Structure 1
């Protein structure tokens, strides 16, 4: 019988034998007689990546050759040997099929491992030993062949320090292999080297050589998510060269960080970028706390984002390294602490471990001379020219240092309204919104990210129909706002009219001035009175439209342009713990927080998010569960950091300072919710996911409220606490009942709980709350990229996609899916 090779094995001669994977030209008898079609659902991956059918006859023939090589040619004729081979082959096949009873793919190495194990268990130790030695010998031969067939490097020179020197392949290979350290099972350094060389030319600058290596690794990310970490490490090498002025290995950085950090602080202060108070810290102690190995946590998207937009730079050159970046942020948040070093290290640990991440403005500006750390600002625009342009000016000042904006434009009179001062007619809200749009584009937050604003308008405003069309790509471009976000601020009465199929009346706010400050039943009563006045002719400027028609237009525009967003005025106000001090007139830029605004107060939200998958632990049953002890610890630190933001923050507008210090709202959120579901192997659209959402958010809220009471015990309650729902013993989950009572139903929410809420109520009665608002689920669009998890509570966008942002385009692969496909033996080039 003749054989030909399969996979990467060679023909055996006397005294040698091939491992499993010989392909027979013909086979008969024993296991070899089993038809290949019996195993049609199983495949084998060769070492060259080719996928072939699974045939047990190959295992039997290979083992027969193994016995011949060890025990001589006569053994093959022995009935005992044939029986032993059949039994061993059956054992191997059974073991493989047990792993994947429904079909799947085996790697050639897995099959050979199983053969080796089967031989030893059967007592054929002489054959097993020879088999092991042969596999090792063939592995060495393949490695040698691979080295011999590596791409020839053309005679190149490169430019280093202004001098033309020979191209050093060994240096590049060493860098790439170091970047692949710990990932060798998943990545191929030679492939990166080959692709790097392919893109080089004679006289290439050394910087371009390293950039070519980054691009070569980046191009392979879609073949295995492990390459995103290789690419990040190659980028990290470039960042270190730029910052330190020389090449430093990962091992050397473990010592170098402590030496570099004090010089970094000094240089930043001299460059007038860092707050001079940072020099008062014990920099030696803080430098010693920096953990260089945490640089290796980044994926490529995360590190590139930090490099492009977050790391401090002077004259276009970065001088901040990743761990120095986290410590700088931590120091900025610890400026007012009694034991500043201990708190800075505590904050650094939370940030650098990716357990918690502050919002983008905090990461941008903490520790700098202009420490604008708050994420979003909510304003109400007055109905006069001074008020309108004052609001636009405030938008510009707040956006200058990375603040996002939510504007309430409902008070501004509608198109055609009478203007007493000029005896003319108003042009309505839309022309001013065009100015707001262009202001946001002009003030691009120091070049770090685009200015961003969301304008809110109540559904009864006479300009609402034009407002709905602001983001359309057709029509008069002078009445379009292509860069600005818009949102509907909808009272419950409108939805009742939609359900009843009734008409809806639109007014100019100049004729119905008190509607803006009313909600719930009070709004409904006032609105009905104004409708009666309009019917009697006492209000001339109004318009009746079918409520369903207006609702349909809202949904049509939402489908067509993604705007305006849908937000509900009454639910936000009825459930607000701050009803006693004002009315909520809008949400913020990303609609995650609802705070009261007025002519004298600009509401401020101070955000940060817990990395939820970092707080999962094995449950002892092969799955994962929430680690409550770690979550409580992280949230206690996070709430302290967020509360510190309020006092340290740079306020470009006095009205924002007044509001923030008076009410002290913070918004603790989460990110990586979908990653947690992957760990628990729970579908996003399932009852299990809903249950986990309920219990995880209950825990986050409970620990956040508890931490706020601890801060109140230490620092005092917020100044407007008296009269709030907190003060009245009404917690946020209790307000669901208030909403149901106000609406007369229409609320279906699971109100069950698992935490000791009575103990928390007792603490609030005793110490009060430090913060009027504690929790807000932010979108985490950028900080989730830094950490490398799915954004917020959103599902994974796609399993493989290209993400575009200010830093470029990035291939994103679902690592959880790839892990499972590998486990099933299904991750190969065909799958990609």
Structure 2
């Protein structure tokens, strides 16, 4: 093996690039170090030169022992040995070659001095690094160039990004959430993800994504993220920036227009226009928007809020009032009952089922969560039941079908003098219908099929959800349930 550096005889000699020599201690050969590089603080990548490690160590020894130490053979030998140890340690960490950051190299030098028992030298080296860091920080503060000016596209017009406005928006979202929830990391991550010419809407989306990444560090960031999302929802629906202090009045002005727009687009029942809309609009409590966490508000936006050609027209508190109005249509004092329903819904004291939230106040106000039916044992009845499943699923109803009456595999069919294929082929059609007809376009269709224990197809029925076997006789997208009567369990207990 060859040594990576010469032993300097004078301080000037230390600064020269050493020639590789044979080293019985196992230092890597000079040509082997050609596969290693150093990343400097300015980002430049330069060759790995062990001589510079020796220079740094010698300066640390000189700072402690004075210039006489440079003439000492023992000091030179010590620096040489420490340098070789540092180089070996770094090469071991990346045997096939690689790149080291300058700070990693200096950390290894500190570690080498400490392991060698040179604690006073190590302390001097640490203090030197700290002074240099402070000098670079001061110099950077004095010479730092102005951040590049970013431009955004606002309604097709290219304008400068108002960083202070963005900062104010993020600070407003973090207000009142505690000392641990701060705007700085959100703003920094947002700015890092922007580029010149970015659409303004993408700036707001970037702030939401930046805040969302911090939820795993502190769960309360979910409320800051929800507030940033709320800002974009208001901008989409109202058509302009709406600051938190303006939202109460914005709700009051917007609500009657929302109901009329929903009726005009054939989304809402015309009967909603008969309510005292200004009174209901004044009852909306904008501050309750701050109760949402991010996941809750995002789910409402994605699935529940009414939209016209993918553009949302419904704000959170208007959503709750629309549901309350739909539940109050047949009440005597409709406005009073609607406000009462709104109070319990918007405060999260009570929450209606999903179909009610989807459909209340709309043209097809189907409010039930589940429908249970019994399928008759004839072809017309079977396909009529499948049709009913499709229509009920269309308006967000969950389905439960009892197939016990349908004859089993091999049973006689009088009309054709043939044999039945059993319930399994029909259940495959039911499964595919649930996939084809989702729940109001909001979520997957939900179907559960029931069969009693005594049915002759029960064994094949129990295998419908398996991942093995003939896939034509499998139903992966619906649930199955085996109905077990009390008589069966009594006979099990009595062993027959």
Task: Report the counterpart of residue 258 of structure 2 in structure 1.
Answer: 264
CA offsets per residue over residues 188-208 of structure 1, 9 Å max, x none?
210000111111111100110
Cα separation, 2, equivalents of 1:383 and 1:167? 69
Task: Report the counterpart of residue 179 of structure 1 in structure 2.
Answer: 173
Is 2:253 the partner of 1:239?
A: no
Task: Report the counterpart of residue 485 of structure 1 in structure 2.
Answer: 479
Is 2:350 the partner of 1:356?
A: yes
Task: Report the counterpart of residue 302 of structure 2 in structure 1.
Answer: 308
CA contact (8 A) 2:320 2:345 kept: yes
* Residue pairs, 1:156-195, within 5 angstroms: 156-195=150-189
Task: Report the counterpart of residue 18 of structure 2 in structure 1.
Answer: none
CA contact (8 A) 2:393 2:440 kept: no
Is 2:423 the partner of 1:429?
A: yes
Cα separation, 2, equivalents of 1:384 and 1:431? 14
Using the size of structure 1 for normalisation, the TM-score is: 0.42
- Deviation of the 1:469 alpha carbon: 0.7
Task: Report the counterpart of residue 72 of structure 2 in structure 1.
Answer: none
Q: What's the Cα RMSD here?
A: 1.7
CA offsets per residue over residues 718-761 of structure 1, 9 Å max, x none?
xxxxxxxxxxxxxxxxxxxxxxxxxxxxxxxxxxxxxxxxxxxx
Cα separation, 1, equivalents of 2:425 and 2:236? 47
Task: Report the counterpart of residue 205 of structure 1 in structure 2.
Answer: 199
CA contact (8 A) 1:375 1:402 kept: yes
Task: Report the counterpart of residue 729 of structure 1 in structure 2.
Answer: none
- Deviation of the 1:153 alpha carbon: 4.4
* Residue pairs, 1:266-285, within 5 angstroms: 266-285=260-279
Cα separation, 1, equivalents of 2:227 and 2:201? 15
Cα separation, 1, equivalents of 2:359 and 2:411? 44
Cα separation, 2, equivalents of 1:294 and 1:396? 37
Instruction: Give the unaligned 5+ runs of structure 2.
Output: 1-137
Task: Report the counterpart of residue 455 of structure 1 in structure 2.
Answer: 449
CA offsets per residue over residues 359-414 of structure 1, 9 Å max, x none?
01110011111111111100000000011001000101111100100000100000
CA contact (8 A) 1:470 1:480 kept: yes
CA contact (8 A) 1:262 1:287 kept: yes
* Residue pairs, 1:89-100, within 5 angstroms: none
Name the SS of the counterpart of 1:222 in structure 2. coil
Query: What is the aligned counterpart of 1:380 among 343, 359, 374?
Result: 374
Task: Report the counterpart of residue 12 of structure 2 in structure 1.
Answer: none
Task: Report the counterpart of residue 397 of structure 1 in structure 2.
Answer: 391
Task: Report the counterpart of residue 255 of structure 1 in structure 2.
Answer: 249
Name the SS of the counterpart of 2:459 in structure 1. helix
Name the SS of the counterpart of 1:469 in structure 2. coil
Name the SS of the counterpart of 1:358 in structure 2. coil
Cα separation, 1, equivalents of 2:494 and 2:183? 67
Query: What is the aligned counterpart of 2:362 among 346, 350, 368?
Result: 368
Name the SS of the counterpart of 2:454 in structure 1. coil
Name the SS of the counterpart of 2:409 in structure 1. coil
* Residue pairs, 1:308-707, within 5 angstroms: 308-502=302-496
Cα separation, 2, equivalents of 1:179 and 1:281? 34
CA contact (8 A) 2:403 2:449 kept: yes
Name the SS of the counterpart of 1:308 in structure 2. helix
CA offsets per residue over residues 683-705 of structure 1, 9 Å max, x none?
xxxxxxxxxxxxxxxxxxxxxxx
Cα separation, 2, equivalents of 1:453 and 1:183? 42
Cα separation, 2, equivalents of 1:411 and 1:170? 70
- Deviation of the 1:187 alpha carbon: 1.0
Task: Report the counterpart of residue 15 of structure 2 in structure 1.
Answer: none
Q: Residue 371 and residue 261 in structure 1: after superposition, are their counterparts in 2 closer, same or farther (change >3 A)?
A: same
CA offsets per residue over residues 579-631 of structure 1, 9 Å max, x none?
xxxxxxxxxxxxxxxxxxxxxxxxxxxxxxxxxxxxxxxxxxxxxxxxxxxxx
CA offsets per residue over residues 438-459 of structure 1, 9 Å max, x none?
0011101232111110000001
- Deviation of the 1:498 alpha carbon: 3.6
Name the SS of the counterpart of 1:417 in structure 2. strand
Name the SS of the counterpart of 1:187 in structure 2. coil
CA offsets per residue over residues 109-155 of structure 1, 9 Å max, x none?
xxxxxxxxxxxxxxxxxxxxxxxxxxxxxxxxxxxx9xx89997432
Number of residue pairs aligned between Structure 1 and Structure 2? 356
Rg larger for:
2
CA offsets per residue over residues 297-346 of structure 1, 9 Å max, x none?
00011000100000000011001000000000000111111111000000
Task: Report the counterpart of residue 295 of structure 1 in structure 2.
Answer: 289
Name the SS of the counterpart of 1:324 in structure 2. helix
Cα separation, 2, equivalents of 1:256 and 1:479? 56
CA contact (8 A) 1:156 1:203 kept: yes
| Structure with the larger RCO, 1 or 2 (CA within 8 Å, 6+ apart) | 1
Task: Report the counterpart of residue 113 of structure 2 in structure 1.
Answer: none
- Deviation of the 1:501 alpha carbon: 4.8
Task: Report the counterpart of residue 43 of structure 1 in structure 2.
Answer: none
Cα separation, 2, equivalents of 1:420 and 1:300? 60
CA contact (8 A) 1:326 1:348 kept: yes
CA offsets per residue over residues 75-132 of structure 1, 9 Å max, x none?
xxxxxxxxxxxxxxxxxxxxxxxxxxxxxxxxxxxxxxxxxxxxxxxxxxxxxxxxxx
CA contact (8 A) 1:153 1:197 kept: no
Using the size of structure 2 for normalisation, the TM-score is: 0.70
Task: Report the counterpart of residue 44 of structure 2 in structure 1.
Answer: none
CA contact (8 A) 1:151 1:194 kept: no
CA contact (8 A) 2:152 2:159 kept: yes
Cα separation, 2, equivalents of 1:155 and 1:362? 49
